[in-house]
């Protein structure tokens, strides 16, 4: 699963103990460059820079980085279909035959719509690569710990921590139930497998419900939100990392602006 690969990568990469502020300068800076890009060349440049930093700097395996990017990229490509395909016959009125690439009843793909779809896709994938750079190099407790120190976000960080722990608890419980079913030959035939899958879903739902009730009762008995989230300690902010990161972001923006 991409989500589990992402979490494993965040805990095992070279930059996992670096300050969240340091990596935010690089990641959010590249995100700003991506969303303000004037041409697709800038977006491609952001993807290249984010890939180089992730694979060479944080030592994230190339295969893992590609799999992590495939999840948002697939949603982006599905989303831009609505931009590439025009839905009204009037959208192609006045267009020459050379500008219309494909027609099918009321649907059409023109050179203008395809260019807009391509530009949107490149910009979105560039933004996703910048965000994934931070996600792949920072474990979730570190992110939530940094978020809890921002005024007004302590409650959000606490809720995020509860959901994070609950998800992995449910995955562990589901894996144990499935192993038990497999040991009892619960998937030997299609009909038995369907019954086992139904029981697995029902058991997971019940455990999710009871776990949520216990978490709610536990949170109700705690002190009000506002205490720092219990994240592991990170390294202190180092300007030796911040300055080169800012230079990389600035250079990417300048090169993309004149590209």
Average pLDDT value for residue range 225-244: 68
Residues 106 and 162 in one domain: no
Q: Are residue 133 and residue 16 in the same domain, yes or no?
A: yes
What domain range includes position 214? 151-220
- pLDDT for res 92: 46
- Judge whether 146 lies within some domain: no
Does residue 63 belong to any structural domain of this protein?
A: yes
Check whether residue 91 and residue 196 sit in a common domain: no
10 in the same domain as 96: yes
Number of domains in the chain: 2
Q: How far apart are CA 182 and CA 133, in angstroms?
A: 38
Residue 134: predicted pLDDT: 93
Tell me if 8 is assigned to some domain. Answer: yes
Residues 122 and 248 in one domain: yes
Which strands sit side by side in the sheet containing 107-110, from one edge to the other? 85-86, 107-110, 100-104
Dihedral of alpha carbons 91, 93, 98, 102, sign: positive
Range with the poorest average pLDDT among 21-30, 62-71, 92-101: 92-101
Positions of E strands within the chain: 85-86, 100-104, 107-110
> Is 226 part of any domain?
no
pLDDT tens for 79-118 read 888 888 886 655 444 544 447 777 777 778 888 888 888 8
Q: What's the DSSP call for residue 226?
A: -
Q: Are residues 77 and 184 in the same domain?
A: no
Query: What are 109-162's pLDDT values in tens digits?
Result: 888 888 888 889 999 999 999 999 999 999 888 888 888 888 888 778 877 877
Q: Is residue 16 part of a domain?
A: yes
Domain contains 165: yes
If asked whether residues 99 and 213 sit together in one domain, one would say no
> Within this chain, do residues 17 and 124 fall inside the same structural domain, yes or no?
yes
Q: In this structure, is the dihedral angle defined by the CA atoms of residues 163, 149, 128 and 8, taken in order, positive or negative?
A: negative
For residue 225, being part of any structural domain is answered with no
């Amino acid at each position: 699963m991409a989500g589990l690969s992402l979490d494993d990568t965040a805990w095992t990469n070279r930059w996992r103990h670096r300050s969240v502020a340091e990596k935010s300068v690089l990641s959010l800076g590249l995100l700003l460059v991506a969303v303000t890009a004037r041409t697709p060349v800038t977006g491609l440049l952001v993807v290249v820079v984010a890939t180089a930093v992730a694979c060479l700097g944080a030592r994230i395996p190339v295969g893992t980085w590609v799999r992590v990017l495939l999840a948002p990229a697939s949603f982006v490509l599905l989303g831009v279909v609505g931009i590439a395909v025009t839905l009204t016959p009037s959208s192609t009125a006045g267009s020459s035959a050379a500008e219309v690439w494909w027609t099918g009843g009321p649907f059409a793909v023109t050179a203008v719509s395809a260019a807009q779809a391509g530009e949107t896709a490149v910009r979105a994938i560039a933004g996703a690569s910048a965000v994934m750079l931070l996600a792949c190099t920072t474990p979730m407790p570190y992110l939530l710990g940094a978020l809890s120190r921002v005024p007004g976000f302590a409650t959000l960080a606490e809720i995020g921590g509860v959901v994070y722990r609950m998800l992995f608890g449910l995955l562990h419980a589901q894996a144990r139930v499935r192993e038990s079913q497999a040991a009892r030959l619960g998937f030997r035939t299609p009909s038995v497998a369907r019954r086992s899958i139904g029981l697995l879903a029902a058991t997971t739902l019940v455990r999710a419900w009871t776990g949520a009730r216990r978490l709610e009762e536990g949170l109700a008995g705690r002190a009000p939100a506002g205490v720092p989230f219990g994240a592991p300690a990170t390294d202190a902010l180092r300007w030796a990392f911040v300055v080169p990161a800012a230079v990389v972001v600035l250079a990417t923006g300048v090169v993309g602006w004149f590209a």
